[in-house]
């Protein structure tokens, strides 16, 4: 437990963190990468360039400081970050590195004095311990379950299938011939990319896009215009190639009871975790299932026939599609037969899309507890 003086000091300096803004995290990352360039093989440098990772870290640091006297409030955020960290195989030693450069950043930018630095060191040490312990639990659980492993494991690409003009699916099976650990539909898997054509190792997380089968994993990757990893995957990875994968992870997954209506809402490649959910429950879910999807046009519409076939086969499954070049943006007022207050909603897509949908759901008085969502990349609150 933290001393009261530490709590008081950290809370009192939280406004300084807010005032420093993302410039503090920019300084932190620049400093850390200068002293530990090997960490460029761990961090997503694309998110560094766009500022998304720096914004996420700033929000996390400020959120911790502001709520340091009520750690329970932070536990959902801790779980989300811990799950993501396990797909990067983050170690306790790396927490030490982060702590060193975080404290140095506070000192260099704010010169708050030794008492403040000592308080932040104590506070960071507690938070790091919470993360390290939770991540070790996840590592051990993955290692001990049937088909599980710790670290990375070699897989071979056995299928490569275009799903639209921007999305391609890849199916992986382990080269050791053994089974694979299961996962909860909605979770993702970490893929490690190493090549002479890449400046650094690139680690990415992609949602698993089919139901667990104990033998293989499938991801469906969108080619991003400036995406270092996605373009490498599309252009360079072929059937027969091998890659290293981390075990499935993620705190977003299907949790609804079989007798509760659900609505799966997605845009673009955000349909991938929704498809995993749909394929996992379509034969056993007793209540109504609504599939609502938005995309640019027919050429970008992945898995269109797959979902249409399911809708024809399942009496309780209804789908509705919005093509931006024809119908415009998704308007939930155009959707019929949903009991808005009694339904669980699962969302995935660009943050702006999910914010747009969440606003509509709130206007329809959907309980906040019934709205579940996943952000690709650094997390944001809707």
Q: Tell me: is residue 207 an annotated ligand-binding position.
A: yes
Q: Give SS3 for 330.
A: coil
95 part of the active site: yes
Q: How far apart are CA 87 and CA 83, in angstroms?
A: 7
Consult the annotation and say whether 3 binds a ligand: no
273 is in an annotated binding site: yes
360 is in an annotated binding site: no
Q: Which residues of 64-94 are buried (b: 16+ CB within 10 A; e: fewer)?
A: bbbebeeeeebeebbebbbbbbbbbbbeeeb
**378 annotated among ligand-binding-site residues:** yes
Is 155 assigned to a binding site? no
The answer to whether 162 is a known ligand-binding residue is no
Concerning whether 279 is annotated as a catalytic residue, the answer is no
In the three-class reduction of DSSP (H, G, I as helix; E, B as strand; rest coil), residue 240 is classed as coil
**Residue 204 annotated as binding?**
yes
Per annotation, catalytic residue among 29, 135, 217, 346: 135
Yes or no: say if 209 and 258 are a contact pair by the CB < 8 Å rule. Answer: no
8 Å CB contact between 205 and 84? yes
37 annotated to bind ligand: no
Which one is catalytic: 95, 124, 139, 183? 95
326: three-class secondary structure by DSSP? coil
Q: Would you list the DSSP string of 130-194?
A: HHHHHHHHHHHHHHHSTT--SSEEEEEEEEEEE-SSSEEEEEEEETT--------TT-EEEEEE-
Spatial separation of the C-alpha atoms in residues 246 and 271, rounded to whole Å: 22
The greatest distance separating any two alpha carbons of the chain, rounded to the nearest whole angstrom, comes to 68
- Hey, which residues are catalytic here? 95, 135
Binding residues for heme b, by number, are 85
Binding residues for NADP(+), by number, are 268-273
Binding residues, by number, are 85, 188, 204-207, 268-273, 375-378
């Amino acid at each position: 437990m933290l001393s009261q003086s530490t709590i008081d000091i950290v809370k009192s300096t939280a406004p300084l963190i807010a005032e420093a803004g993302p410039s503090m995290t920019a300084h932190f990352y620049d400093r850390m990468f200068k002293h530990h360039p090997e960490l460029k093989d761990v961090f997503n440098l694309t998110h560094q360039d766009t500022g998304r990772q720096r914004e996420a870290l700033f929000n996390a640091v400020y959120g911790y400081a502001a709520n340091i006297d009520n750690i329970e409030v932070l536990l959902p955020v801790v779980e989300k970050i811990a799950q993501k960290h396990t797909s990067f195989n983050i170690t306790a030693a790396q927490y030490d590195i982060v702590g060193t450069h975080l404290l140095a950043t506070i000192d260099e930018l704010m010169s708050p004095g030794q008492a403040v630095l000592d308080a932040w060191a104590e506070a960071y040490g507690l938070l790091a311990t919470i993360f390290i312990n939770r991540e070790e639990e996840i590592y051990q659980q993955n290692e001990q379950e049937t088909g599980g492993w710790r670290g990375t494991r070699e897989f071979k690409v056995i299928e490569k299938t275009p799903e639209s003009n921007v999305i391609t699916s890849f199916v992986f099976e382990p080269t050791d011939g053994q089974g694979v650990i299961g996962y909860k539909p909605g979770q993702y898997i970490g893929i490690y990319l190493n090549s002479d054509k890449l400046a650094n190792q690139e680690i990415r997380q992609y949602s698993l896009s089919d139901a667990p089968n104990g033998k293989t994993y499938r991801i469906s990757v969108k080619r991003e215009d400036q995406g270092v990893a996605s373009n490498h995957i599309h252009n360079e990875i072929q059937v027969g190639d091998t890659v290293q994968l981390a075990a499935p992870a993620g705190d977003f997954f299907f949790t609804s009871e079989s007798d509760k209506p659900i609505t799966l809402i997605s845009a673009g490649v955000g349909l991938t975790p929704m498809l995993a959910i749909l394929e996992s429950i379509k034969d056993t879910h007793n209540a109504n299932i609504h599939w609502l999807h938005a995309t640019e046009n027919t050429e970008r519409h992945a898995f269109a026939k797959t979902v249409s076939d399911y809708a024809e086969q399942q009496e309780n499954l209804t789908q509705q599609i919005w093509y931006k070049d024809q119908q415009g943006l998704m308007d939930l007022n155009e959707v019929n037969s949903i009991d808005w207050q009694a339904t669980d909603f699962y969302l995935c897509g660009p943050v702006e899309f999910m914010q747009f949908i969440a606003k509509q759901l709130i206007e329809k008085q959907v309980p906040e507890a019934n709205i579940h969502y996943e952000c690709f990349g650094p997390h944001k609150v809707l």
